[in-house]
Structure 1
């Protein structure tokens, strides 16, 4: 039986809601990827090209600091990584997360929340950052996804 983690970053609470529901549905541990400096509403204003999120997303080398590391990452075989879709891909803090651990031999499954945008190149980006891991194509969910749908989808790996 593999040990499973659902790690997530949530800016508005939608991804947190889905991640918590998924972890409960599949019996996984849960870890919130919290930025060292929390995002404010102004930071998240994607229409302002000088906002923190815009600046980070326009610089592919940006790696926002994470407040706390996940405990005992080596124990997990399967890691679901959740995030809101920003600029048609994973937020830069997810890149920080992917570079912070050794994912070799693990299966990594991205999942996202979005009003309509897909995951874009997120899986390919995450694969480049997780040497030796198997990063599979993920899925986008609405904030109102059911526990049953999450269990059916995530259960194929968990």
Structure 2
């Protein structure tokens, strides 16, 4: 049952991406694109690769200086504590010349209905021009670092 649910979620996300790919491509026409993704399972990575195939650009896996434990049940209390304290884990991944990118896609899982701490670290470290934060079946377009400057929602 769990495998069927995972397959269904992956499949519907992929369908949403393909049916809206012209919308995604319209965002990045003649733009320098960066796709950054945080993954614990290969589902998030697979979607990042689909986005990369559709819009091109540079694909970067976001890694931590001190990775989370492999065991999910050990990771849970650590991430909950990080969220409660507002801790921003140091990133091993460094993105050189990030200013050269016009559009940055950020693909990540939702952890306990919150932005994962490593993604918060990324957004804190870099001043991004256009961020397409992609999670599950919705992409939100932001200009700058402030979510209050939200411009538009669209499904992909």
TM bin, normalised by shorter chain, reads: 0.5 to 0.7
The change in CA–CA distance for 1:135 and 1:10 in structure 2 (over 3 A counts) is farther
CA contact (8 A) 2:68 2:75 kept: no
1:132 CA drift (Å): 9.8
The change in CA–CA distance for 1:20 and 1:136 in structure 2 (over 3 A counts) is farther
Unaligned runs of 5+ in 2: 1-29
The change in CA–CA distance for 1:133 and 1:78 in structure 2 (over 3 A counts) is farther
| Number of aligned residue pairs | 126
Measured in 2, the distance between the counterparts of 1:133 and 1:72 equals 26
Which residue in 1 is equivalent to 2:81?
Answer: 55
Length-normalised TM-score, structure 2: 0.67
Of the three residues 72, 87, 97, the one matched with 2:122 is 97
Write out aligned runs for 1:64-143 (5 A).
64-103=89-128, 106-113=129-136, 130-131=145-146
CA contact (8 A) 2:69 2:75 kept: no
1:30 CA drift (Å): 0.7
- Structure number with the higher helix fraction is 2
SS in structure 2 at match of 1:36: coil
Length-normalised TM-score, structure 1: 0.66
Larger Cα Rg: Structure 1 or Structure 2?
2
CA contact (8 A) 1:8 1:16 kept: yes
SS in structure 1 at match of 2:108: strand
1:97 CA drift (Å): 0.3
1:16 CA drift (Å): 1.1
* 2:28 equivalent to 1:3: no
The change in CA–CA distance for 1:69 and 1:134 in structure 2 (over 3 A counts) is farther
Unaligned runs of 5+ in 1: 141-152, 154-158
